[in-house]
């Protein structure tokens, strides 16, 4: 089994935010990642995320061989679509609180885009008009610490977000992940798929946070019915990889060990 993980982050959270998780996976696994998805002008965000998947595949093709694809939220869906298109680039995919959308989900998303309520179906509506800049790190820390999204963050992961999720612009600090790009990603959530997830040729594990409403029961059941699929849940919410980085790293190691045993026929 490959020891190379290619990690893809959640929408709005630069990969460096997950540094504690990456450190906990070392030295057993080497983690590669893009600093920011959706910010390369060669791969502008488009409807159904075709260009975002192209961007991921482009970078996977630069790797030494097939990778273990691990993605949180947005990142999990990108890996799934990339693995459906190019299974030879993967040893397997782990989706961290990331749904495998059913045909019914896709129909609802298509309708939401067509009739203008996609911002209510996704976090886009909460992202529009969000505060984008701060006077200094202290102001950013006070403001973000008051938000429920960050309330359960591991302290080191929260500090990593302050360090890597903001950057200086003139005399202010601005969000490094462009808010307009973040909103466009939410609005472009796929209502199409490169193929049926049931046809995925590599192992797939979906890990949901028990307090999250992103991966729902019907998603978990659909994955459990897949020939190479398994679904499990862990304590925490949608942001559990940044709330419990050490526990998440241990879980990933267990998943990869199971895949290795299955692959070797034991």
Q: Please, is 120 exposed, middle or buried when counting C-beta atoms within 10 Å of its C-beta (0-12, 13-18, 19+)?
A: exposed
Distance CA 131, CA 153 (A): 19
Q: How confident is the model at residue 3 (pLDDT cuts 50, 70, 90)?
A: very high
Looking at residue 1, what is its pLDDT? 54
Q: What are phi and psi of 117, to 5 degrees?
A: -115, 25
pLDDT tops 90 at residue 92: yes
Sheet strands side by side (includes 90-96): 30-33, 4-8, 67-72, 90-96, 204-209, 229-234
Give the distance from CA 182 to its chain's centroid.
Answer: 13
Instruction: Give the chain's length.
Output: 266
Local structure of 191: helix, strand or coil: coil
Looking at residue 266, what is its pLDDT? 46
Residue-wise pLDDT for 40-67, tens only, equals: 999 999 999 999 999 999 999 999 999 9
Residue-wise pLDDT for 162-221, tens only, equals: 999 999 999 999 999 999 999 999 999 999 999 988 899 999 999 999 999 999 999 998
Q: Please, is 174 exposed, middle or buried when counting C-beta atoms within 10 Å of its C-beta (0-12, 13-18, 19+)?
A: middle
Strand partners, 175: 166
pLDDT tops 80 at residue 114: yes
Distance CA 81, CA 213 (A): 22
Tell me how far apart the terminal alpha carbons of the chain are, to the nearest angstrom. 14
| Predicted TM-score of the model (pTM) | 0.96
pLDDT tops 60 at residue 2: yes
In 3D, which of 121, 131, 238, 130 has the Cα closest to residue 188? 121
Looking at residue 146, what is its pLDDT? 92
pLDDT tops 60 at residue 127: yes
Structure tokens at 155: 């302290």
Q: Per mean pLDDT, which range of 47-51, 77-81, 205-209, 260-264 is the poorest?
A: 260-264
Distance CA 193, CA 70 (A): 19
Strand partners, 167: 174
Question: Domains of the chain by range and CATH?
Answer: 4-109+184-264 (3.40.50.1820)
pLDDT tops 50 at residue 149: yes
């Amino acid at each position: 089994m490959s020891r190379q993980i290619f990690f893809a982050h959640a929408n709005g959270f630069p990969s460096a935010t997950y540094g504690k998780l990456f450190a906990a996976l070392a030295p057993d696994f080497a983690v590669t990642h893009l600093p920011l998805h959706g910010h390369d002008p060669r791969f502008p965000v488009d409807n159904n995320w075709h260009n975002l998947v192209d961007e991921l595949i482009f970078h996977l093709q630069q790797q030494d061989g097939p990778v273990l694809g691990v993605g949180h939220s947005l990142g999990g869906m990108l890996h799934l679509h990339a693995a459906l298109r190019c299974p030879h680039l993967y040893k397997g995919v782990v989706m961290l609180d990331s749904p495998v959308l059913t045909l019914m989900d896709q129909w609802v998303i298509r309708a939401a885009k067509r009739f203008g309520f996609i911002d209510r179906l996704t976090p886009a509506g909460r992202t529009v008009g969000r505060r984008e800049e701060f006077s200094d790190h202290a102001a950013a820390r006070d403001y973000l610490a008051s938000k429920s999204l960050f309330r359960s963050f591991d302290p080191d992961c929260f500090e990593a977000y302050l360090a890597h999720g903001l950057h200086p612009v003139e005399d202010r600090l601005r969000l490094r992940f462009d808010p307009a790009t973040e909103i466009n990603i939410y609005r472009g959530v796929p209502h199409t798929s490169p193929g049926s997830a049931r046809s995925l040729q590599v192992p797939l594990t979906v890990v949901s946070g028990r307090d999250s409403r992103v991966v729902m029961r019907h998603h978990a059941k659909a994955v459990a019915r897949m020939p190479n699929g398994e679904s499990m849940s862990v304590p925490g919410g949608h942001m559990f990889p940044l709330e419990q980085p050490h526990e998440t790293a241990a879980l990933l190691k267990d998943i990869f060990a199971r895949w290795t045993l299955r692959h070797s026929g034991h």
